[in-house]
Amino acid sequence: MIKCVILDDELLAISYLKLLCEQIEGVEVIKAFNDPKVFLKEIGNIDCNVCILDIEMPGMNGLQVAELISDTKKIIFTTAYKEYAAEAFDLNVADYVRKPIKKERLIQAFEKAKELVQHTPKKDFIEWNTNIGKTVIFTDQIAYIKTSEIDSRDKDIILKDGSNLVLKNLNFKSLLEMLPAKNFAQINKKEIIALSAVKVFSVNEIITTISIEHDGFLKLQIGETYRKVLSDLLSR
């Protein structure tokens, strides 16, 4: 699934792009912006993998925006001007689409973006807003993740040294996409475990390496839906 965000200073252009995207299978528009500065302020907290950027915008153009986000998002440029093409492709973008945009041409652009998304290797760290601000967390340091009891939109992380962090406003599906699949498994609707933190497991229960004061080691229940995947991962 392509999850895209649109940035264009013209509201009519945004409406037209959203209309085209809604007609393309496998594409979902998460949000649209008409101000580059607001876009940059919020994009780090939005679950998306592709950004459609207009180039000609007042104050800050799409090329400048792309330089700031191209490490984490795939870019499709849209513009009425052809003279930006060389500079755009220097940024290693997915595609450069001339206005007026046609549905068939946009489909081609999304296909290119999809290829790049699918072949991007998972990083050994995740970067997200936490209770201590924007934070880089190395995945090999994560032992356990659970849904916060205070706010279900947040996720509590226990690191291998016993310290805790809270990931703000992040769902499990998006989180699992960030984590290396071979090293982590969701075990029920509210919990994810690092395979390296599993000490013993049975059909219904995991005993982890995470110690609990006065109560030995943390024990977790395995949901029926997740048993086979977990068993396959742990049996490798």
The topology (CATH level 3) of 125-234 is: OB fold (Dihydrolipoamide Acetyltransferase, E2P) (2.40.50)
Tens-digit pLDDT profile for residues 92-146: 789 999 999 999 999 999 999 999 888 765 668 888 999 999 899 999 999 999 9
**Tokens 């699949």, residue?**
181
Q: Above pLDDT 70, what percent of the chain?
A: 96
Domain ranges of the chain: 2-118, 125-234
pLDDT at 33 exceeding the cut of 90: yes
pLDDT at 121: 59
pLDDT at 57: 92
**Tokens 């967390």, residue?**
137
Distance CA 87, CA 81 (A): 12
pLDDT at 46: 86
- Please give, one letter per residue, the 3-state secondary structure of 79-138: ECCCCCHHHHHHCCCCEEEECCCCHHHHHHHHHHHHHHHHCCCCCCEEEEEEECEEEEEE
pLDDT at 120: 65
Tens-digit pLDDT profile for residues 171-181: 888 898 888 88
pLDDT at 86 exceeding the cut of 80: no
**Matching CATH number, 2-118, of 3.30.56.10, 3.30.565.10, 1.10.1660.10, 3.40.50.2300:** 3.40.50.2300
pTM, entire model: 0.56
Distance CA 36, CA 199 (A): 48
